[in-house]
Structure 1
Amino acid sequence: MPDQFSSGIGRREVLAGAAGVVAGLSLVGLTPASAVPAEVPKFAPARGRNVRVLVTGDAGTGSRTQWAVADAAREYHARQPFSLAVGLGDNIYETGPDGPDDEQFATKFENPNAGLDFPWAMVLGNHDTSAIFPGDGGWLARGNHEVAYHAKSQRWWMPSRYYSLRVPEQNPVVEFFVLDINPLAAYIPPFLDPYWAVDGPYMNQQRAWLDTALAESTAQWKIACTHQPYLSNGPHGNAGNYEGLPIEPINGVHAKRFFEDHVLGKVSFLLSGHDHTLQVLEPTPATVGTRQIVSGAAGKTSSGHPRTGPNAALFETQNELGFMVMDLTANSANLKVVTVDPATGASTEVFDRRLG
C-alpha cells in the first residue's frame, strides 16, 4: 500500500503508547494513521485525577471572534486551570493548510491560544480537507499536513489522523478516542481513490482499531471525538440526513452507520463540532446511552440559519459564541457551557450540570 502522507514524511509505525508519552498522557496510533513522534517538547496536562477539559470546535478563523473566545478561555484558565483541550475540527478555515509550515498554524491556532499551555487534542474537519470549494472534504490527504504539524508544536496534538489519549496514563480517569470520519461524510466523496473508500483500507483499519481500543480501555470515562455529529439541531442536521439531502452518500448515511456500529453504546459522550452551535442533547434509544454534545461555536455561530433537528436538548443556542468545560473525576462528569459576547468579550456561564 502506498504511503498516504505528503510533505516527505515517511510511514512511522508506532505500537500502542510507544511514542509521545508525556507526564500522564499517552497517545495511541496505528497504521495507516502513522503516528508521528514529536520533535519539540510538548505541553503536559495538569497533574492529578481531576481532569478539566476545554471543549471547543470550529475555531480556526484567525478572526476577532476566535480571539474573543480564546480570551474568555484564558480568563477561565487563570481561575480554574484546564488539564487539556479538545479541538473538534475545522482547525484551519476556510480550506485547510498548504503544508506543515503554513503560516496559518500561527495565525489561526498558536497566536490566538497563547497562554493556554496544555495539550490540544485536535480532530480533522471537513474544512481542513478541502479541495475545490471550502469544506468539501474532497482532498482527504490534505489532513496529513495537520498530522505533520504535531511534530512542530508544543500545544497541537494530532499524532495521527485517529488516535486515543489517556489521562492519566496509569489507571486513566478518561480516554478520548479521536476519530476521522471525513471519508464517510465528504461533499466530494472519494470515488476515485479506493484507499479512502467507505470500505477501503483506511476506514476498515480505523474501525478495527477503534473496536479493539474501546474493548481494551480501562478508563472510567470513554469519550469519542468527531467533527461531524451523529445528532444535531443545527443547520447540518443529523447523520443520515446531513443538509436535509436525500442523496447518498453526502447525506452522511455511512457516517450514521459508523456511529451506530462502532461508537454508540460504547462511550459515555460523543463530542462533535461542525454546526456552529452549543448543544447538550439528550440520549435517545438510537444512541444506546451515549450523550451527543456539540461545541462548534469557537469562531462562528449559526445565527441566521435554520434549526433543523427535532432532538431533545438540555441546552442549546444557535447564535452565541462560546466553549464548554468538562470536569471529570473517577466518580462524576460535569459539564458547563460558557457563552462569549464578541463585542465586549464578556463570558457568561449559562449551563452547569452533572451528566454522569
Structure 2
Amino acid sequence: MRTQGTGTGVSRRRVLAGAGGVGAAAVLGGVSVPQALAAGVDKLPIPDKAELTVLLTGDAGTGGDGQWQVADAARTVCARRGVDLAIGLGDNIYENGPESDTDDEFQSKFERPNAGIDVPWLMVLGNHDTSGIIPGSGGWPSRGDHEVAYHAHSARWYMPGRYYSVAVPGGADEPVAEFFAIDTTPLASYVLQTDPEYYWNGPFAREQRAWLKQSLAASRARWKFVFAHHPLRNNGTHRNAGEYEGISCGDYLSGKHVKELYEDVVAGKAEFLLGGHDHTLQILDTAARYQGTQQIVCGAAAKTKGRADEPSNKAFWEAYDTLGFMLLTINAQQVVVDAYTLEPGTGEPVHAYRHTRTDRLPAGTGGRAGAVG
C-alpha cells in the first residue's frame, strides 16, 4: 500500500489536513506496541511494501518561516515522487520542548507545517525537546515523555517510546529495511544530568544500549538504519562525537559516551547512521574505521549553521549555507539518497545531489561496504 503526500506547494495560508489508516506495530524494548491507541486516533499505517521512499528532515520545529519553506518544498517533491514514511531527527519543538502532551506547539510546529505529507513520521528526541530553564540544554530528559505521549494524539507523529524499531514490511522474514530510533540527548547534554535515571551510565542508558545491541543482532533486514539526534561524524560546527563544541573532557558536553555507543554497538552493524543536531546537509563516506556504517547529517529543515574550521571527515557531498531535506529510496538492491536544497528567494526545491549505495554489510558480521557517489 502506498501512502502519497498531497497538495503541491501548500503555504501557511492553505493548510491541508488528513488522517486515516489501520493499526500496525512497532517493537519497543522487545515488546509489540499497537499503533491504534485508546485515544481514538487512527494512526497512518506503516507501509507494507518492499520498496519505499522516506523523507528525511531534522531540527525542524521552530514554527517559523524556515520550517514552512522546507515543508512546502518537501511537500512539492513528495507529491511528485510519492512518499511512504518520514523521519524527524529531533529538535521537534523549539526552544525547550512541549509543556504537556496537548501543548498547542505540536500543532504550530509539527501538524500544520507538515499537513499534506500524510504518512507516519518516525520521530526521535533532541536536546531542544528535553530542556528546562536553559534552552537546548538537554538537562530535563523526562520532559521528552510529553512527546512520547503525543503518539496517542496524532495520526502522523510516531514515537511509541524513547527508543523503538520499525521494520518494513513488518511481517517479512527479511524486511527490506529496519529503522532503529534512539535517544542520545542524556548522553550529550550541555549540562550535567541531575536525575539518576538519565545519568550517562544510569538505567536508561544501560537499557537502551542493551536493547539496541540485541535488536541489531536479531534484525534480518537487508538495510539497517539507526537514527538519533546527535551524529557520530560531522563536519559542521558541533563537530564529531567525543569532541562536540571542541570539548573532549567530561561525561556530557563532549558526547564521548555517544561516540562509545555508536562505535561499540552500531559500527559494522547498521549500514546507515542518520543524525541532525548540526543545521547542515552532509552525506559522508563509508569510512573503513567505522566498518561500513555511513553517516548522514540532515538538520537543515529550519535553520542553517556553517562548517567547522577544520573538518575531519571525508564527504561525498555537503551543504552548509542552505535549508534543505533528503529523500531515501530503498529496495533490496540499493539505497538512493537524494539531497534537495532550496532556491534562495523563491524557496523552490532544487535537486542538489544523488548518492547510491549498493553494498550491504555482511549478514551477522561487521564489514566494509561500498558506495557510488
| TM-score, structure 1 normalization | 0.89
Instruction: Identify the match of residue 316 of structure 2 among 308, 314, 317.
Output: 314
Structure 2: stretches of 5+ with no match in the other structure:
1-20, 359-373
**DSSP-derived class of the 1:324 partner:** strand
- 8 Å contact kept, 1:241–1:251: yes
Residue in 1 that maps onto 2:351: 349
Instruction: Identify the match of residue 192 of structure 2 among 189, 197, 201.
Output: 189
Residue in 2 that maps onto 1:18: none
Question: In 2 relative to 1, CA 294–87 (structure 1 residues): closer, same or farther, beyond 3 Å?
Answer: same
Residue in 2 that maps onto 1:14: none
* 1:120, distance to aligned residue in structure 2 (A): 0.1
Instruction: Identify the match of residue 275 of structure 1 among 274, 278, 303.
Output: 278
Looking at structure 1, the residues matched to 336 and 151 of structure 2 have their Cα atoms a distance apart, in angstroms, of 29
Aligned amino acid, residue 122 of structure 1:
M
* 1:341, distance to aligned residue in structure 2 (A): 2.9
Looking at structure 2, the residues matched to 75 and 180 of structure 1 have their Cα atoms a distance apart, in angstroms, of 30
Following superposition of structure 1 onto structure 2, how do residues 207-286 of structure 1 map, counting pairs within 5 Å?
207-249=209-251, 250-286=253-289
The root-mean-square deviation of aligned C-alpha atoms, in Å, is 2.0
Structure 1: stretches of 5+ with no match in the other structure:
1-21
**DSSP-derived class of the 1:150 partner:** helix
* 1:36, distance to aligned residue in structure 2 (A): 8.4
- 8 Å contact kept, 1:52–1:328: yes
- 8 Å contact kept, 2:242–2:255: yes
Calculate percent identity across the aligned residue pairs.
Answer: 48
Residue in 1 that maps onto 2:371: none
Aligned amino acid, residue 338 of structure 1:
Y
1:88-110 Cα distance to aligned partner (Å, 9 max, x none)? 00000111110101010000000
| TM-score, structure 2 normalization | 0.85
- 8 Å contact kept, 1:137–1:186: yes
- 8 Å contact kept, 2:48–2:170: no
* 1:35, distance to aligned residue in structure 2 (A): 8.8
Aligned amino acid, residue 157 of structure 1:
Y
Question: In 2 relative to 1, CA 33–196 (structure 1 residues): closer, same or farther, beyond 3 Å?
Answer: farther
* 1:251, distance to aligned residue in structure 2 (A): 0.6
Aligned amino acid, residue 122 of structure 2:
A
Looking at structure 2, the residues matched to 100 and 223 of structure 1 have their Cα atoms a distance apart, in angstroms, of 28
- 8 Å contact kept, 1:47–1:83: no
**DSSP-derived class of the 2:152 partner:** coil
* 1:310, distance to aligned residue in structure 2 (A): 1.4
- 8 Å contact kept, 2:235–2:313: yes
* 1:33, distance to aligned residue in structure 2 (A): 12
Instruction: Identify the match of residue 173 of structure 1 among 168, 172, 176.
Output: 176
Looking at structure 1, the residues matched to 138 and 156 of structure 2 have their Cα atoms a distance apart, in angstroms, of 25
1:32-70 Cα distance to aligned partner (Å, 9 max, x none)? 999986331011244531110001100001011111111
1:87-146 Cα distance to aligned partner (Å, 9 max, x none)? 000000111110101010000000000000000000100000112211100000000000
**DSSP-derived class of the 2:209 partner:** helix
Please state if 1:72 is matched with 2:73. Answer: yes
* 1:199, distance to aligned residue in structure 2 (A): 1.8
Number of aligned residue pairs: 333
Aligned amino acid, residue 295 of structure 1:
C
Residue in 2 that maps onto 1:87: 88
* 1:78, distance to aligned residue in structure 2 (A): 1.2
Looking at structure 2, the residues matched to 308 and 106 of structure 1 have their Cα atoms a distance apart, in angstroms, of 39
- 8 Å contact kept, 1:26–1:166: no
- 8 Å contact kept, 1:235–1:306: yes
